[in-house]
Amino acid sequence: MREKIKTGVTIAEVRGTIREALSSPGAGFNFSDRYTILPGFSDVHVHLREPGFFYKETIRTGTLAAAAGGFTHVLTMPNLDPVPDSPAHLKVQTDIIRTDACIGVHPLGSLTCGEQGRRVSDIEGLAPHVAGFSDDGVGVMDDGLMKEAMMRVKAAGSITVAHCEDTRYPRESREAEFKQLDRDLDLVAQTGCPYHMCHVSTLESLALIRQAKRAGLDVSCETAPHYLTLSDQEIRDDGRFKMNPPIKTPADKEALLEALADGTIDMIATDHAPHSREEKSKGFAGSAYGIVGLETAFPVLYTKLVKEGILPMEHLIKLLTEHPNRRFRIGSTMPDENDPAPTFTVWDLETTYEIDPAAFLSKGRSTPFAGWQVQGRCMLTVMDGKVVYRREQK
């Protein structure tokens, strides 16, 4: 039963466990044997925008959106105000998490002070309190500084989470990503620092990751649903198609799908990056970089990959749970009958519906998947025995 439960079972098969979890007053749910139980997902790349930019998203709205998408753990990026480059600055964020988050939120500390790329952050002071270190949104250009950061991250027993962007190349170019990745992997070989690459989008980057893994380096990577299901041929003059790194060619999309199948890509993350309506309404050229993804990730991946026979359901679930949980030491598996405070999600995998950004719980509405017909609707999310999301049932 325990092995089967990891990849999804029907309500009928674990009805007793679920009823126990929902025994608190007001937690009633209209059970149907057509529903499927899945683990809570873990997203290792999320922007909750608070502190500093709460008009885009808050920890409250972002974690509600995550729960509505079946996520029970998220890693948050450090491009905030203040940037979590010291324990004091981190505390501003964790105080809000403590009071407002409805799921597990695991902050990343910044690699450099203020994400300015000039001086390494207080790695030693932050390491016990963060899931890793990143300057997400910008690449660290100074080779010596990046090496120093990696050495200190390694000594602190943590992991470097890298946004690879070499600013000597246009952001839209392939070189901007894979040239800095190539530099970073050389530094990983020198320092032995555990390394995770964010949002891989090019076939050249995948070749470098494969080579590094064959060489025995402690390297992992993620990609996002939009890189797996879209190519630059589908881009329109609309801010909802603008993200960093940009969507690449059909050949890159195919290479990413192959890399999912052969294990080169370790996990899928959303890079949920909400902005205000004004910031995303200036056409493709003038809009801010970033789209939302927490509430669409599983439906899009299930519909476009699993239902079309590209990826087995079991593998997709591992990419969203087991692999990120193990790499970042977070999350949990599905409960068994003896779990007193289970974490799990309930899904309707049969109903087809249209993605409607107006119905999102996130403050962000900008998604390239608006209007898509998908299957896979989260009905219920339970975190440590507590209902954190329940879809209204008619």
The catalytic residue positions are 271
What lies within 8 Å, CB to CB, of 46 at 6+ separation is: 62, 66, 74, 75, 76, 77, 269, 270, 271, 272, 294
Helix locations, the chain, DSSP H:
2-5, 15-21, 59-68, 87-100, 123-126, 143-155, 175-191, 203-214, 225-229, 250-262, 283-286, 297-301, 313-320, 322-328
Amino acid identity, residue 37? I
| Of the candidates 268, 313, 270, 310, the residue with the CA atom closest to the CA atom of residue 290 | 270
Helix (H, G, I), strand (E, B) or coil at 5: helix
Question: How many Å apart are CA 355 and CA 375, to the nearest integer?
Answer: 10
217 HSE (CA, 13 A, CB side)? 27
Residue with token string 């990959």: 305
- C-beta atoms surrounding 52 within 10 Å: 14
The answer to whether residues 195 and 222 touch, using CB atoms and an 8 Å cutoff, is no
Question: How many Å apart are CA 122 and CA 90, to the nearest integer?
Answer: 11
Give the DSSP letter string of 247-263.
P--HHHHHHHHHHHHHT
Radius of gyration of the chain (CA): 20
Question: How many Å apart are CA 52 and CA 81, to the nearest integer?
Answer: 4
Helix (H, G, I), strand (E, B) or coil at 45: strand
| DSSP-based helix, strand, coil % in the chain, nearest 5 | 35, 15, 45
348 HSE (CA, 13 A, CB side)? 16
Q: How many helices (H) and strands (E) does the chain have?
A: 14, 12
Helix (H, G, I), strand (E, B) or coil at 239: helix
Residue with token string 């299957």: 375
